[in-house]
Chain A
Amino acid sequence: MDIGVLAMTMIKPKKVLLLGSGALKIGEAGEFDYSGSQALKALKEEGINVVLVNPNIATIQTSQELAGKIYFLPVTPYFVQKIIEKEKPDCALLSFGGQTALNCGLNLSGSGVFKKNKITVLGTPVKSIEITEDRQLFAKYLGGIGIKAPRGGFARDVKGALMIANKIGYPVMVRSGFSLGGLGSSVVNNKEDLNLVVSMALKNAPQVAIEEYLRHWKEIEYEIVRDKGGNKIAVCNMENMDPVGIHTGESIVVAPSQTLNNYQYHLLRQISLKVIEHLGIVGECNIQFALDPKSDDYRVIEVNARLSRSSALASKATGYPLAYIACKLSLGYSLRELKNIVTGTSAFFEPALDYIVVKIPRWDLQKFEGANLRIGSEMKSVGEVMAIGRSFPESLQKAVRMLETGQDGLLGMPGEDSLSPGSLRLFAIAQQFLRNSSVESISKETGIDQWFLNQVKEIVDYQKNFGPAYKFNNENFLQAKKLGFSDNLIAASCRMSLNKVRKFRERWNIYPKTKHIDTLAAEYPAKTNYLYMTYHGEESENDSRLRIQDSGFRQTHNCKKVIVLGAGPYRIGSSVEFDWCLVTAVATFRQQGLETIVINCNPETVSTDFDIADKLYFEELTLERIVDIYKVEKNAKLVLAFGGQIPNNLAALFAAEKMAILGTPTKSIDFAEDRHKFSALLDRLSISQPQWEQIKNTGSVKRFAGKVGYPVLIRPSYVLSGSAMNIANSSREVAIYLNKAAKVSSKHPVVISKFIDNAKEIEIDGVAKSGKLLIYAISEHIENAGVHSGDATLVLPPQRLYLETMRQIKLETKKILKVLNIHGPFNIQFLAKDNKVMVIELNLRASRSFPFVSKVTGINFIEIAAKVIVGENITGDFQTVDLDYVGVKAPQFSFNRIKEADPKLKVEMSSTGEVACFGRDLHEAYLKALFSTGWKMPEKSIFLSIGGDKNKLDFLESARKLTTLNLEIFATEGTSKFLKLSGIKNTTVFKLSEGKHPTVLDLIKKAQVDLAINISLIGEDRAKRDGFIIRRNCVDFAIPLMTNLQAAIEFSYAVTEKKLEDLQIKSWDEYLSPKN
Chain B
Amino acid sequence: MQGKLILSDGATFIGESFGADVSSSGEVVFNTGMVGYPESLTDPSYFGQILVLTYPIIGSYGVPNPKYFESRKIWVRGLIVQNYIDSPSHFASIMSLGEWLKKEGIPALQGIDTRALTTKLRSQGAMLGRLTVIPARFAEASARRAKAGIHSNAGKILNQVQNDKNEIYNPNLENVLQFVSIEKPQTYGTGKKNVVVIDCGAKQNIIRSLLKRKLRVTVAPWNFDPIEEKWNFDGVLISNGPGNPKNSKDTILTIKNLLSQSVPVFGICLGSQLLALAAGGDTYKLKFGHRGQNQPVQNLITKKAIITSQNHGFAVNFTSMPLGWSEWFINLNDGSNEGIRHKKKPFLAVQFHPEASPGPTDAEYLFDEFISMI
Contacts of A541 in B (CB 8 A): 115-116, 119
**Nearest CB of chain B from residue A238's CB, rounded to whole Å:** 12
**Nearest CB of chain A from residue B328's CB, rounded to whole Å:** 16
Complex contact B305–A335 (CB within 8 A)? yes
B298 at the interface (CB under 8 A from A): yes
B61 at the interface (CB under 8 A from A): yes
Q: Given A261-B90, A265-B35, A538-B13, verify A346-B118 contact (CB < 8 Å).
A: no
Q: Given A346-B296, A521-B55, A536-B83, verify A262-B39 contact (CB < 8 Å).
A: yes
Contact bitstring B303-324, A, C-beta under 8 A = 1, else 0: 1111100000000000000000
| Nearest opposing residue in chain A for B36, CB measure | A262
B56 at the interface (CB under 8 A from A): yes
Q: Give CA–CA (A539, B114) in the complex, Å.
A: 10
**Nearest CB of chain A from residue B113's CB, rounded to whole Å:** 4
Query: Of B13, B89, B122, B298, which contacts A259 at CB under 8 A?
Result: B89
Most buried by B among A336, A520, A536: A536
Complex contact A261–B92 (CB within 8 A)? yes
Query: Of A231, A257, A266, A475, which contacts B152 at CB under 8 A?
Result: A475
Contacts of A515 in B (CB 8 A): 115
Query: Of B61, B114, B356, B360, which contacts A354 at CB under 8 A?
Result: B114
Contact bitstring B180-217, A, C-beta under 8 A = 1, else 0: 00000000000000000000000000000000000000
Contacts of B136 in A (CB 8 A): none
| Nearest opposing residue in chain B for A458, CB measure | B87
Q: Given A229-B304, A536-B83, verify A356-B56 contact (CB < 8 Å).
A: yes
Complex contact A354–B333 (CB within 8 A)? no
Interface residues of B in 286-312 (CB under 8 A from A): 292-296, 298, 303-307
Contacts of A294 in B (CB 8 A): 91
Q: Given A261-B61, A390-B83, A450-B89, verify A524-B333 contact (CB < 8 Å).
A: yes
Complex contact B113–A259 (CB within 8 A)? no
Q: Give CA–CA (A349, B38) in the complex, Å.
A: 24
Contacts of B272 in A (CB 8 A): none
Contacts of A233 in B (CB 8 A): 296, 307
A1024 at the interface (CB under 8 A from B): no
Q: Give CA–CA (A257, B359) in the complex, Å.
A: 14
Most buried by B among A294, A348, A474: A348
Interface residues of A in 447-476 (CB under 8 A from B): 449-451, 454, 471, 473-475
Q: Give CA–CA (A513, B333) in the complex, Å.
A: 28
B175 at the interface (CB under 8 A from A): no
Most buried by B among A349, A471, A475: A349
Q: Give CA–CA (A231, B302) in the complex, Å.
A: 11
Contact bitstring B22-54, A, C-beta under 8 A = 1, else 0: 000000001011111011000000000000001
Complex contact B294–A350 (CB within 8 A)? yes
Interface residues of A in 529-569 (CB under 8 A from B): 536-539, 541
Contacts of B57 in A (CB 8 A): 258, 356, 390-392
Contacts of A353 in B (CB 8 A): 34, 55
Complex contact A537–B55 (CB within 8 A)? no
Contacts of B13 in A (CB 8 A): 538
Q: Give CA–CA (A391, B84) in the complex, Å.
A: 10
B227 at the interface (CB under 8 A from A): no
**Contact count band on B:** 35 or more
Contacts of A350 in B (CB 8 A): 293-294, 296, 307, 360
Complex contact B32–A538 (CB within 8 A)? no
Q: Given A353-B34, A515-B115, verify A345-B56 contact (CB < 8 Å).
A: no
Query: Of B113, B152, B303, which contacts A539 at CB under 8 A?
Result: B113
Query: Of A231, A351, A522, which contacts B305 at CB under 8 A?
Result: A231
Contact bitstring B329-360, A, C-beta under 8 A = 1, else 0: 00011100000000000000000000011111
B160 at the interface (CB under 8 A from A): no
| Nearest opposing residue in chain A for B288, CB measure | A523
**Nearest CB of chain B from residue A240's CB, rounded to whole Å:** 15
Complex contact B91–A260 (CB within 8 A)? no
Q: Give CA–CA (A905, B340) in the complex, Å.
A: 71
| Nearest opposing residue in chain A for B120, CB measure | A522
| Nearest opposing residue in chain B for A255, CB measure | B34
Query: Of B30, B91, B305, which contacts A348 at CB under 8 A?
Result: B305
Complex contact A270–B360 (CB within 8 A)? yes
A352 at the interface (CB under 8 A from B): yes
**Nearest CB of chain A from residue B141's CB, rounded to whole Å:** 16
**Nearest CB of chain B from residue A173's CB, rounded to whole Å:** 23
B373 at the interface (CB under 8 A from A): no
B163 at the interface (CB under 8 A from A): no
Query: Of A259, A346, A356, A451, which contacts B332 at CB under 8 A?
Result: A346
Contacts of A352 in B (CB 8 A): 32-34, 54-55, 292-294
B260 at the interface (CB under 8 A from A): no
Q: Give CA–CA (A259, B87) in the complex, Å.
A: 12
A67 at the interface (CB under 8 A from B): no
Complex contact A345–B54 (CB within 8 A)? no
A644 at the interface (CB under 8 A from B): no
Q: Give CA–CA (A327, B272) in the complex, Å.
A: 38
Complex contact A354–B54 (CB within 8 A)? yes
Contact bitstring B102-119, A, C-beta under 8 A = 1, else 0: 000000000101111011
Q: Give CA–CA (A1067, B328) in the complex, Å.
A: 53
B171 at the interface (CB under 8 A from A): no
Q: Give CA–CA (A530, B117) in the complex, Å.
A: 20
Contacts of B283 in A (CB 8 A): none
Contacts of A522 in B (CB 8 A): 54, 115, 118-119, 122
Q: Give CA–CA (A599, B259) in the complex, Å.
A: 61
Contact bitstring A195-230, B, C-beta under 8 A = 1, else 0: 000000000000000000000000000000000011
Complex contact B122–A451 (CB within 8 A)? no
Interface residues of A in 314-363 (CB under 8 A from B): 335-336, 343, 345-346, 348-356
B64 at the interface (CB under 8 A from A): yes
Complex contact A336–B298 (CB within 8 A)? yes
Contacts of B95 in A (CB 8 A): none
Contacts of A449 in B (CB 8 A): 89
Interface residues of A in 841-874 (CB under 8 A from B): none
**Nearest CB of chain A from residue B226's CB, rounded to whole Å:** 32
Q: Give CA–CA (A348, B303) in the complex, Å.
A: 13
Contacts of A475 in B (CB 8 A): 146, 152
Complex contact B149–A471 (CB within 8 A)? yes
Q: Given A273-B362, A346-B332, verify A336-B122 contact (CB < 8 Å).
A: no
B82 at the interface (CB under 8 A from A): yes
Contacts of B362 in A (CB 8 A): 270, 273
Contacts of B33 in A (CB 8 A): 352
Contacts of B359 in A (CB 8 A): 262, 266
B261 at the interface (CB under 8 A from A): no
Contacts of A265 in B (CB 8 A): 34-36
Contacts of B372 in A (CB 8 A): none
Contact bitstring B53-71, A, C-beta under 8 A = 1, else 0: 0111100110010001000
A295 at the interface (CB under 8 A from B): yes
Q: Give CA–CA (A1018, B361) in the complex, Å.
A: 65
User: Would you give 24 A-B contacts (Cβ < 8 Å), ordered by A?
Assistant: A231-B306, A257-B35, A259-B89, A261-B36, A261-B90, A263-B357, A265-B35, A346-B296, A350-B293, A352-B33, A352-B54, A352-B294, A353-B34, A391-B56, A391-B57, A451-B61, A473-B146, A520-B32, A521-B32, A521-B54, A523-B30, A523-B32, A523-B54, A537-B115
Which B residues form the contact surface with A (CB < 8 A)? 13, 30, 32-36, 38-39, 54-57, 60-61, 64, 68, 82-83, 85, 87-92, 111, 113-116, 118-119, 122-123, 146, 149, 151-152, 292-296, 298, 303-307, 332-334, 356-362
Query: 5 smallest A-B Cβ distances: which pairs?
Result: A262-B36, A352-B32, A538-B113, A451-B89, A350-B294
Other A-B pairs beyond A262-B357, A348-B296, 15, CB < 8 Å: A231-B304, A234-B307, A256-B55, A258-B57, A261-B61, A261-B64, A262-B36, A262-B358, A265-B35, A294-B91, A352-B292, A354-B54, A474-B151, A513-B113, A539-B116
Which A residues form the contact surface with B (CB < 8 A)? 229-231, 233-234, 256-263, 265-266, 269-270, 273, 293-295, 335-336, 343, 345-346, 348-356, 390-392, 449-451, 454, 471, 473-475, 513, 515, 520-525, 536-539, 541
